[in-house]
Amino acid sequence: MTVKNVQVDGVKPWDLVTSLGIAGELQDMAGFKSIGKIGDVLQVAEYADKIRSGTFDIQDGFDVAADALQLPAFGVVGNLGGAAIHIWNDAGREAQNIDWSNQGMSQTWDYMVDNPGVVAEEVSKATLEVGSRILGYFRFP
């Protein structure tokens, strides 16, 4: 089985499935725990596909370690530690996409000055995306 790295506005479909399972559990809705597990199984399949194709990297390793920490055996401390690893790993991934050169920073600043409305809109989108991703990293029993 091959799992494609499909994302919609930066969110993987199985993350939504896992979040739906967590939301259902919080509302004490019967059957939602198994829905969240489907998202976990698809995530494992993605890791297996990356290992097979040779694209599994150190950041994927951090994600696997964080997921392992969040197993029920490690309790609340493991849950918080795993969430922290996921969050810092995301920050590291995004930092790799930034053009840190003087020219790149200057162009970004000029764009921000010339287009404050677009900047405000993009900051609000990013806040929602990152906020939902961070909440998704906390596993509730």
In a domain, 7, yes or no: no
37, 50 contact by CB (below 8 A): no
In a domain, 121, yes or no: yes
* Domains held by the chain: number: 1
Considering only residues 9 and 107, tell me which one the structure prediction assigns the higher pLDDT. Answer: 107
In a domain, 74, yes or no: yes
Give the range of the structural domain holding residue 101, as residue numbers without chain letter. Answer: 13-137
In a domain, 6, yes or no: no
Quote the pTM value: 0.61
In a domain, 8, yes or no: no
- Bridge-partner residues for 11, per DSSP? 8
In a domain, 5, yes or no: no
Binning pLDDT at 50, 70 and 90, where does residue 113 land?
very high
In a domain, 1, yes or no: no
- Whether the pLDDT of residue 39 is over 70: the answer is no
Binning pLDDT at 50, 70 and 90, where does residue 75 land?
confident
Where do we find the tokens 């979040």? 19
In a domain, 66, yes or no: yes
Least confident segment among 18-27, 47-56, 86-95, 122-131: 18-27
